[in-house]
Chain A
Amino acid sequence: MKLQQAQQGHEVPHPASAPIDKDKELAAVQRSLLQHADEPGALLPILHDVQDALGYIPAHTVPVIAEAQNLSRAEVHGVITYYHHFRAEPAGRHVIQICRAEACQSMGADALLAHAELRLGCSAHGTSKDGAFTLEPAFCLGLCASSPAMTLDDQPHARMTPRAFDALIAQDNNP
C-alpha cells in the first residue's frame, strides 16, 4: 500500500534518490496549463501548481510551460530563478524554513539557524545527506511576537530553542 502511494503520489515530492518519471511530470504540468489556459498572467499560479505537485520545477518542463504561455524559455527560466520560493531541483522529504529577519534575530534566530545547520549537516539552502530535510532561510513568517519562528512543511512553530528543534526533527524524521 505504501509503495503504491509513493508511485502514484504527485503530492509527494520526489526524494532526491527516486527515479524520475518524466511523462508523469509532464502530465502534472499539462493539467495546470489546461486549468489556467484562459487566465491572463498565469505563470506564477502555473509554477506554483507544478512545484506543489512535483516538489520542484523540472528543467524539461520549462519549454512546455513557455510554449503554452506564449513566452520564451528565457522568460520562464528568469521567473523561476528570480523568486526564492521556486526550486529547479528536488527538495528533501521535508522543508524547514527558519526565519532570519530582525525580530527573530533579536531572540536568537542566528543561533537557531547555526544549530539547525550543525544538526542536519547541511548549510542554508542545502538538504541533509539522508534526503530528509531541506533547510531554507526565510525572511519573516509573520510570527514576530513569538520569535524565533520556523516552519516545518508549512506548519508554524514559535519560540523555538535548539532543544525544541531537535524534538521536532526527531518526531518528523520518518520517511
Chain B
Amino acid sequence: MSTITVYVPRDSAALAAGADRVAQRIAKEATARGIMLELVRNGSRGMFWLEPLVEVNTPTGRIAYGPVTPDDVAGLFDAGFLTGGKHPLALGPTEDIPYLKKQERLTFARMGVTDPVSLTDYQAYEGFAGLRRALALAPEEIVQQVLDSGLRGRGGAAFPAGIKWKTVLGTAAAQKYIVCNADEGDSGTYSDRMTMEGDPFMLIEGMTIAGLATGATQGFIYVRSEYPHAIATLNEAIRIAEAAGFLGDNILRSGKRFSLAVRKGAGSYVCGEETALLESLEGKRGIVRAKPPLPAIEGLFGQPTLINNVITLASVPLILARGAAFYRDYGVGRSRGTLPMQLAGNIKYGGLVEKAFGVTLRELLYDYGGGSASGRPIKAVQVGGPLGAYLPESQWDLPLDYEAYAAVGGTVGHGGIVVHDDTADLSKLARYAMEFCALESCGKCTPCRIGSTRGVEVIDKIRADQNRVQQVILLRDLCDTMVHGSLCAMGGMTPFPVLSALDHFPQDFGLVVPDRKAA
C-alpha cells in the first residue's frame, strides 16, 4: 500500500489565502487520527479563487478540494477526502477542472503538480531533458534551436530571443554573463513569481542551457525585493542543483561550468528595463543606459551579457527537449509558442492561463475569467502592465498576438491582463499612469522625468474643467514628446495607457465628442 500524499501549495498567493494554517491543521488532524500521510507543499495550479487548493493522490489520480480554510479540515477528514470522498468543497479530478483542461500548458506543465524543490519530481516530468540534450550539442546548434523555435522575449519587448543568444555567442570575451530579469514589476503579472516559487529548476535549467549556448559561466537572477518567497525558493533550489551536479564546475560530468547567484532588487520599477537592471547589478542607481552598445556586446561589467526574462529562459528547456518545431507549431503569425497569461484585478476567476498566441481577450475574460468579480459589466482591460493600453470592448476580439496588439497602439507585454468594471474612472487611471511614471522615472530623459509630472498636472486640469479643450491638445502634445524623446519604455510607453484612455473613454475626461485626430 502506498502512502497517501496530500498537496497544499506554498505559492505566495496560496500563503496569502492561509495555506500554511491549512497545512498545519491537516498535519495535526492526521496525527490525532493516527493517519500516516505525506504532506507536499507544491506550487500553485494558478486558480487563485480556489486557493488554498488541497489535493489528494488516489488510485484514479489527484482529487482537488478548495478553497479550504483551517476550519474545513476536520470535516474533510470526516468525509474521507484522503480517498477522494464527497464534500461540498470537492472539485473532482484536478486535471478535469475545465479552467486547467482547456489550457495548453507547456512552460507551466509542472506547475502545481510537483514539489518545487524536489529533483526527483522535476526529473519525473521531463526535467533536465533539455540540458542533457544541450550537453550533446555544439553551442551553435543550441542557438539554432532557439532561433528556429521563434521564441521572443517574454518580458514585454518581444525581441527574438535567438538573435540575442547568437550575438553573445559571436562576441569573444574572457567572461560572459547570463542575467535573468526577474524584476516582474508590472501590475497584473505574476507568472515569473509562480515560476520561481513553483518550478525553480526550470529556470535554473534554462539559464544553464543559455550558458552552454553562449559560453557564459556565471549567471545572475535579479529578483525584486517584493518577492521574498521567490528569493528563498530559488536559493534553496540552487543549493540543491549544485549539490547534485546540475550546476557548478562540472555539470553532469561534462567538464562544462556554470554558476548561479540570486541578487535582490530594491523596489525600483525601472530596474526591469534591461540596462537599468545591469547598472543595479553593478551596485549603482538603476539609471537607463543608451544603446548601443547592446548588452549582448557590452553588458554587465562591460562584458557580453545575455539578458532575458524568467519566462523566456524557462521556455528553453522544453524547446531543447522536444525540438524547436514542437514549440513553433503553437501560435499565430510571428508570435510562436504559448504565453502564460495572467488574469488579474476585477475578475471572478483570476489566475494563470497558458495558451498558444491567437486566443482572444473575450475568451480569456469570459470563458476563463467568468466576467468581473463585482458582477458589474467590464469596462476596460489593461493588457501588458502599467505601460499597456486600456482596451475597450471593441478590441476584445483581436487575436492575442504581438503584431495585432501593436497595430492598435497596444502591447501584449508580459501577458498581464487587468480588468476594470464600469465603476472605473479612466481619467483617474490615466492620471495614475503619469503619477507612476513620475515616481519611477530614473530621471535620465527630460520628457520622462519632467513630462510625467506635467502630465499629472494637465490631467488634473482636464478633470477640473480648466481650459479643458486646450489642455487635451497639450496632453497629446506632451505624450508625443514622451514617446519620441525617451530612451526606454518607461517614458516612451506611459502615453499608451493615457492616450488609449483618452481615445476610448473621452466621457471620463468630460469630453462629449470623441477627439481622435491626434492619436
Q: Judging by beta carbons under 8 Å apart, are A149 and B16 in contact? A: yes
Known: A107-B345, A144-B187. A85 touches B267 (CB 8 A): yes
List residues of chain A with CB within 8 A of the CB of B265: 44, 83, 85
The answer to whether B16 and A157 touch across the interface, beta carbons within 8 angstroms, is yes
The answer to whether A64 has its CB under 8 Å from any CB of chain B is no
Is A112 part of the binding interface, using a Cβ–Cβ cutoff of 8 Å?
no
The answer to whether the Cβ of B419 comes within 8 Å of any Cβ in the partner chain is yes
A85 to B424, CA, bound (A): 30
The answer, yes or no, to whether B346 is at the interface (CB within 8 Å) is: yes
**Contact yes or no, A42 B283, CB < 8 A:** yes
A105 to B219, CA, bound (A): 36
B188 CB contact (under 8 Å) in A69, A97, A102, A156: A102
- Structural contact, B15 and A83, CB atoms closer than 8 A: no
Residue in B51, B185, B229, B424 whose beta carbon sits within 8 Å of that of A140 in the complex: B185
Bound-complex Cα distance A146 to B215 (A): 41
Chain A residues near B436 (CB, 8 Å)?
Answer: 101, 139
Q: Could you tell me if B416 and A144 are in contact, using CB atoms closer than 8 angstroms?
A: yes
Instruction: Decide if A144 touches B266 in the complex (CB within 8 Å).
Output: no
Q: Which residue of A lies closest to B369 (CB)?
A: A145
Contact digits for A135-170, partner B, Cβ 8 Å, 1 yes 0 no = 000111111111101000011111100000000000
Q: Which residues of B contact A45 (CB under 8 A)?
A: 263-264
Max chain B Cβ within 10 angstroms of own Cβ: one of A138, A143, A157, A158: A143
* B281 on interface, CB distance cutoff 8 Å: yes
**Quick check: is B269 within 8 A (CB to CB) of the other chain?**
yes
Smallest CB separation, A92 vs chain B (Å):
18
Task: Give the interface centre of B51, B267, B280, B419 by most chain A CB atoms within 10 Å.
Answer: B267
Knowing A45-B264, A103-B418 are in contact, say whether A158-B16 is a contact too (CB < 8 A): yes
Q: A48-B266, A107-B345, A158-B16 are in contact. Are A145 and B226 (CB under 8 A)?
A: no
B424 neighbours in A (Cβ, 8 Å): 106
* CB-defined contacts of A138 to chain B, threshold 8 Å: 226, 267
CB within 8 Å of A: which of B6-49?
12-13, 15-17, 48-49
Interface assignment of B471: CB less than 8 Å from any CB of chain A: no
The answer, yes or no, to whether B273 is at the interface (CB within 8 Å) is no
| Residues B227 and A144 in contact, CB atoms below 8 Å apart | no
Most chain B CB neighbours (cut-off 10 Å) among A47, A78, A146 = A146
* A79 and B13 form a contact (CB under 8 A): no
Task: Say what secondary structure dominates the interface of chain B.
Answer: mixed
User: How long is the Cα–Cα vector from A51 to B364 in the complex, in angstroms?
Assistant: 42
Q: Is the CB of B373 within 8 A of A107?
A: yes
Q: Given A41-B281, A146-B350, check contact A155 B15 (CB 8 Å).
A: yes
- By the criterion CB–CB under 8 Å, are A107 and B225 in contact? no
Residue of A nearest to B191 (CB): A142
Contact in complex: A102, B13 (CB < 8 Å): no
Q: What's the Cα separation between A79 and B286 when bound, in Å?
A: 8
Determine if A43 is an interface residue (Cβ-Cβ < 8 Å): yes
A144-B418, A145-B342, A147-B345 given; A86·B301 CB < 8 A: no
B344 on the interface (CB 8 Å rule)?
yes
B429 at the interface (CB under 8 A from A): yes
Produce 1/0 per residue, A47-75, CB < 8 A to B.
11000000000000000000001000001
Check B344–A103 contact: CB distance below 8 A. Answer: yes
Determine whether the beta carbon of A144 is less than 8 Å from that of B190: yes
User: Which of A43, A45, A48, A144 has most B Cβ within 10 Å?
Assistant: A144
Q: Are the CB atoms of A85 and B225 closer together than 8 Å?
A: yes
When the two chains form their complex, are residues B190 and A105 in contact, meaning their CB atoms are under 8 A apart?
Answer: no
Contacts of B413 in A (CB 8 A): none
Contact (A102, B429) CB under 8 Å given A44-B283, A107-B345, A144-B189: yes
Task: Give B383-430 interface residues, CB cut-off 8 Å to A.
Answer: 386, 416, 418-421, 424, 429
Within 8 A of A (CB), among B343-360: 343-347, 350-352
| B190 CB contacts on chain A under 8 angstroms | 142-145
Query: Is A40 in contact with chain B by the CB < 8 A criterion?
Result: yes
Report the Cα distance A15→B185, complex, angstroms. Answer: 30
CB < 8 Å neighbour of B351 from A40, A107, A140, A145: A145
Q: Contacts of A154 on B, CB cut-off 8 Å? A: 228
Minimal Cβ-Cβ distance residue in A for B435: A100
B268 interfacial by beta-carbon distance below 8 Å = yes
Q: Are B418 and A106 in contact (CB under 8 A)?
A: yes
- Chain A residue numbers with a CB within 8 Å of B264 are 44-45, 48
Contacts A48-B266, A78-B285, A85-B266 supplied; 7 other A-B pairs, CB < 8 Å: A79-B284, A85-B225, A85-B267, A106-B418, A145-B13, A145-B347, A149-B16
Give 12 CB contacts A-B under 8 Å. Answer: A40-B282, A41-B301, A101-B188, A102-B382, A103-B416, A103-B418, A107-B345, A138-B226, A140-B185, A142-B226, A144-B344, A159-B17
B interface, CB within 8 angstroms of A: 12-13, 15-17, 48-49, 51, 184-190, 192-193, 225-229, 263-269, 280-286, 301, 342-347, 350-352, 373, 382, 386, 416, 418-421, 424, 429, 432, 436, 439-440
